[in-house]
């Protein structure tokens, strides 16, 4: 124990943090050594993000002790943590959309003399950092708001690297990344640890932990339930520790359904948007799940948003039940029974300052109001039922959405369309940041919807998810459909080859 204390870079003991009505951390211990990748596991709402915010100086703990290289420290502000050598990539992207890539990377420690910024130097160093991350093509003077989620994640990563920290905390860095980006990230993490930098790594993708993790600490309900396990601990054991029960993450079998599967529900004809995607054709039948595979940036989200009317198509038409949708008009899509659970929960889906119930019933206001007055009791009842289905914790529909953990916010987005009851449901990364147990539940619900005759379109960066859940798969590359096949005729390797092909040139 004493030996460990002397070699430990960071030691947090008995950390307690309460928010009004919640004890988010209830005595957490975490020990991190220099040069290791320390994985932090736990279900949605277990307290992982809260813990790392304490470590980053963004939250003040109510109790507990933090030791850095053996010495007791207090982290009263984010500056104190940065000075000490802790850089953090937060779960919710923490960038300034209106500033350039370089400005974001060096925000707070600008390259400057006498207060005058040295922009050329900043741009050069930003490019060097992005190159290290495998993306020299991102222009450093591009506004961050113009980058995709994955691009922003890279900027956030570059920023953490720019600090020359001794400990880098990554809160679900891969949630917005596709397979190839993940490989890149892992290479960088390996480089860092070889230089003696420690990494605290949070992810719900357990296979990642086996790949890069050295040791694992598991949180449950704000307590450390297991510390310093080896990365080779069997998945089933980790899951059991996290959830207190056994969870099987197999994709549920297709149920025998009575749906007339010959009925075309959604039909997309020659859909295209300049510079995004072109000539996209497909149909989805009642009870069918269509998966769309492709790299981030291939135009997957753009297609869904265009079908939904959030973007205006430059060419082509969308039909629902044989009826043409008005181009670029969300209202007409929603009236026809189309729902979209978008990729960016915070900016595209949630009203952060409203209650969970209000968020869940937002799309179905009509069925919750009469003469313009909302039926609050019904609203609470129905949303509570869905929250319990999705295992959203705390299952209190009156809470503010902003106080939920990331994964639980994601569940609220999905719950909105489950309550709404749509004929066509477009799901864009529905499991981003959702823990293993809740994921299984979500898969089951998606299958149930299909069995009820809903036509579903699923976009996911996780290939097994697309292949395991969908009936048919479209493979997308650079905005074009390059392959279409039943899911059971495809393997993960096939699809990866297809989406990568040509990009090697």
Ligand X SMILES: Nc1ncnc2c1ncn2[C@@H]1O[C@H](COP(=O)(O)OP(=O)(O)OP(=O)(O)O)[C@@H](O)[C@H]1O
**Under rule CB under 6 A, which residues in 4-33 are in contact with ligand X?**
19, 22, 24
Q: Write the DSSP string, 381-405.
A: HHHHHHHHHTT-SS--TTSBGGGS-
Q: Which one, 88 or 405, has the nearer CB to Mg ion?
A: 405
**What's the CA gap between 62 and 11, in Å, rounded?**
17
Interface residue with Mg ion among 11, 43, 91, 409 (CB under 5 A) is: 91
In the complex, least distance from residue 51 CB atom to ligand X, rounded to whole angstroms: 7
The interface with other proteins within residues 275-294 (CB under 8 A) comprises 275-276
Interface residue with other proteins among 190, 247, 259, 310 (CB under 8 A) is: 310
The interface with Mg ion within residues 105-134 (CB under 5 A) comprises none
**What's the CA gap between 388 and 58, in Å, rounded?**
31
Interface residue with other proteins among 3, 194, 250, 505 (CB under 8 A) is: 505
The interface with ligand X within residues 43-62 (CB under 6 A) comprises 44-50
- Contact code string over 359-398 relative to ligand X, x by CB under 6 A: -----------------------------------x----
**Residues 6 or more apart from 277 whose CB is under 8 A from it?**
271, 299, 302, 303, 476, 479, 480
363, 369, 374, 376: CA torsion to nearest 10? -80
Interface residue with ligand X among 127, 193, 405, 460 (CB under 6 A) is: 405
Report what 16 binds from other proteins, ligand X, Mg ion, none; CB cut-off 5-8 Å by kind: none
The residue written with tokens 């040069």 in the block is 35
**Residues 6 or more apart from 196 whose CB is under 8 A from it?**
34, 35, 166
Q: Which one, 138 or 469, has the nearer CB to other proteins?
A: 138
Structure-token pair, residue 134: 């495998």
**What's the CA gap between 338 and 318, in Å, rounded?**
11
Q: Which one, 337 or 406, has the nearer CB to Mg ion?
A: 406
List Cα–Cα distances, 118 to 89, 127, 140, 279, 354, in angstroms. 25, 15, 14, 46, 42
User: Which of these ranges, 12-20, 307-315, 376-384, 480-488, lies near other proteins under the rule CB under 8 A?
Assistant: 307-315
In the complex, least distance from residue 428 CB atom to Mg ion, rounded to whole angstroms: 20
**Residues 6 or more apart from 296 whose CB is under 8 A from it?**
148, 149, 150, 176, 177, 178, 181, 461
* 114, burial (CB in 10 Å: exposed 0-12, middle 13-18, buried 19+): exposed
The interface with other proteins within residues 103-132 (CB under 8 A) comprises 103, 107-110, 112, 115-117, 119
The interface with ligand X within residues 88-147 (CB under 6 A) comprises 91
**What's the CA gap between 293 and 497, in Å, rounded?**
12
The interface with other proteins within residues 56-75 (CB under 8 A) comprises 56, 58
Report what 336 binds from other proteins, Mg ion, ligand X, none; CB cut-off 5-8 Å by kind: none
Contact 194, 112 (CB under 8 A): no
**What's the CA gap between 456 and 399, in Å, rounded?**
30
User: Which of these ranges, 92-100, 275-283, 370-378, 406-414, lies near ligand X under the rule CB under 6 A?
Assistant: 406-414
Report what 403 binds from ligand X, Mg ion, other proteins, none; CB cut-off 5-8 Å by kind: ligand X
| Residue 408 engages Mg ion in binding (rule: CB under 5 A) | no
Sign (positive or negative) of CA dihedral 48, 53, 59, 65: positive
Report what 196 binds from Mg ion, ligand X, other proteins, none; CB cut-off 5-8 Å by kind: none
**Before 394, cis peptide (omega within 30)?**
yes
Q: Which one, 273 or 432, has the nearer CB to other proteins?
A: 273
Name the residues that contact Mg ion, by CB under 5 A. Answer: 49, 91, 405-406
Name the residues that contact ligand X, by CB under 6 A. Answer: 19, 22, 24, 42, 44-50, 91, 394, 403-408, 433, 435
């Amino acid at each position: 124990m004493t030996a460990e204390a002397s070699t430990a870079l960071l030691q947090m003991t008995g950390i307690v943090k309460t928010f009004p009505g919640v004890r988010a951390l209830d005595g957490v211990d975490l020990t991190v050594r220099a040069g290791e990748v320390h994985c932090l596991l736990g279900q949605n709402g277990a307290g992982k993000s809260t813990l790392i915010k304490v470590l980053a100086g963004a939250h003040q703990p109510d109790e507990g002790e933090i030791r850095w290289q053996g010495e007791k420290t207090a982290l009263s502000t984010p500056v104190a943590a940065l000075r000490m050598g802790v850089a953090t990539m937060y779960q919710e992207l923490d960038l300034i959309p209106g500033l350039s890539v370089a400005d974001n990377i060096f925000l707070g420690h600008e390259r400057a003399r006498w207060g005058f910024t040295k922009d050329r130097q900043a741009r050069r160093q930003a490019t060097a950092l992005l190159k290290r991350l495998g993306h020299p093509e991102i222009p450093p003077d591009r506004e961050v708001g113009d980058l995709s989620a994955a691009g922003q994640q890279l900027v956030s990563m570059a920023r953490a690297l720019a600090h020359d920290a001794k400990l880098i905390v990554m809160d679900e860095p891969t949630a917005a990344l596709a397979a190839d980006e993940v490989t890149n990230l892992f290479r960088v993490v390996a480089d860092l640890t070889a230089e003696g930098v420690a990494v605290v790594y949070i992810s719900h993708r357990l296979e990642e932990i086996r790949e890069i993790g050295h040791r694992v600490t598991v949180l449950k309900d704000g307590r450390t339930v297991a510390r310093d396990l080896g990365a080779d601990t069997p998945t089933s054991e980790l899951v059991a520790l996290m959830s207190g029960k056994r969870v099987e993450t197999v994709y549920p079998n297709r149920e025998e359904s009575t749906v007339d599967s010959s009925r075309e529900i959604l039909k997309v004809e020659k859909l295209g948007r300049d510079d995004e995607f072109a000539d996209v054709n497909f149909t989805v039948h009642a009870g069918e799940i269509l998966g769309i595979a492709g790299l981030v940036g291939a135009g997957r989200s753009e297609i869904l948003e265009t079908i939904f009317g959030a973007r205006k198509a430059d060419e082509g038409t969308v039909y629902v039940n044989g009826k043409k949708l008005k181009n670029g008009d969300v209202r007409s899509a929603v009236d026809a029974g189309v729902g979209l659970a978008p990729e960016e929960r915070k900016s595209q889906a949630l009203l952060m300052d409203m209650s969970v119930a209000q968020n869940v019933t937002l799309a179905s206001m009509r069925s919750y109001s009469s003469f313009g007055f909302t039926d609050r009791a019904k609203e609470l009842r129905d949303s509570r039922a869905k929250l319990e289905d999705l295992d959203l914790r705390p299952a209190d529909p009156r809470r503010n959405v902003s106080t939920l953990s990331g994964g639980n916010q994601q569940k609220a987005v999905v719950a909105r369309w489950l309550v709404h009851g749509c004929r066509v449901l477009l799901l864009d990364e529905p499991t981003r940041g959702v823990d293993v147990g809740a994921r299984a539940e979500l898969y089951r619900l998606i299958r149930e919807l299909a069995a009820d005759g809903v036509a579903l379109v699923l976009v996911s960066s996780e290939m097994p998810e697309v292949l395991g859940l969908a009936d048919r798969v479209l493979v997308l590359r650079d905005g074009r459909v390059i392959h279409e096949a039943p899911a059971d005729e495809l393997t993960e390797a096939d699809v990866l080859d297809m989406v990568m092909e040509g990009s090697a040139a």
